[in-house]
Amino acid sequence: MSGLIGKKVGMTSLYDSNGKNIPCTVIEAGPCVVTQVRTKDIDGYEALQLGFDDKSEKNSSKAAMGHFKKANTPVKRKLVEFQNFSEDYKLGDLITVEHFLEGEFVDVSGISKGKGFQGVVKRHGFAGVGQATHGQHNRLRAPGSIGAASYPARVFKGMRMAGQTGNENVQVQNLRVIKIVLEKNLLVIKGCVPGHKNSYVIISK
């Protein structure tokens, strides 16, 4: 789907016409530059490669600098391909937050916050409260049994256990665009989106 690359600014809240407090996420969406145009004849599919957030040339390879020179734009930090744009864009064109409309629904994907190694209560939502009586005092957040002994004599794959949590690609679907601030390229979306402040997110129609 068509969309833009953005940067999560943070969260806030707005009041609607009924006086209800709505939690919102503010995203700096674009402006994104068309850095490459994929065509069916050359690449086998149609898509636009968009670049976002300037990067210093000192930290860029010559190959990257040559790639962005074709689009007549500075080196970009983040590149993502999008398909199904209704408009015809050319190399070097700028796509702003005007691509979205207030009231429409979007999907937002990004890398979630990393939580490190966590137990089953935090990682999988286990109740974590065993019997506190009957002499048991130190197993309140334990997972309990992970399988029988003589049969099947192994632990099944996919068993919910402790381990690395977060830091994975997450998509939140059907979030409503509450407000668009054109002069600052800001998109105010209802609800929360994955990632920490200043992390990159992909907003798709």
Q: What pLDDT, on the 0 to 100 scale, is given for residue 140? A: 84
Q: What is the pLDDT of residues 20-47, one digit of tens each?
A: 999 999 999 979 999 999 989 999 999 9
d(CA 127, CA 120): 9
pTM value? 0.84
Cis preceding linkage at 194, omega within 30: no
Using the predicted structure, report yes or no on whether residue 3 has a pLDDT greater than 80: yes
Burial annotation 130-143 (CB, 10 A radius, 16+ → b, else e): eeeeeeeeeeeeeb
Which CATH number does 3-114+169-204 carry?
Answer: 2.40.30.10
- Give the pLDDT confidence of 64-99 residue by residue, as tens digits: 899 888 888 899 999 999 998 888 888 888 999 999
Task: Categorize the per-residue pLDDT at 197 as very low, low, confident or very high, splitting at 50, 70 and 90.
Answer: very high
Segments of the chain assigned to CATH 2.40.30.10: 3-114+169-204
CA pair distance 158, 188, nearest whole angstrom:
38
Q: What is the pLDDT of residues 104-131, one digit of tens each?
A: 999 999 999 999 999 999 999 998 776 6
Give the pair of three-digit tokens for residue 154.
């192994």
Instruction: Write down the residue that tokens 């399988």 correspond to.
Output: 147
Model pLDDT for residues 139-178, shown as the tens digit of each residue: 888 888 899 999 999 999 999 999 999 999 999 999 999 9
In angstroms, the CA 60 to CA 74 distance is: 11
pLDDT attached to residue 161? 95
3-state secondary structure of 69: helix
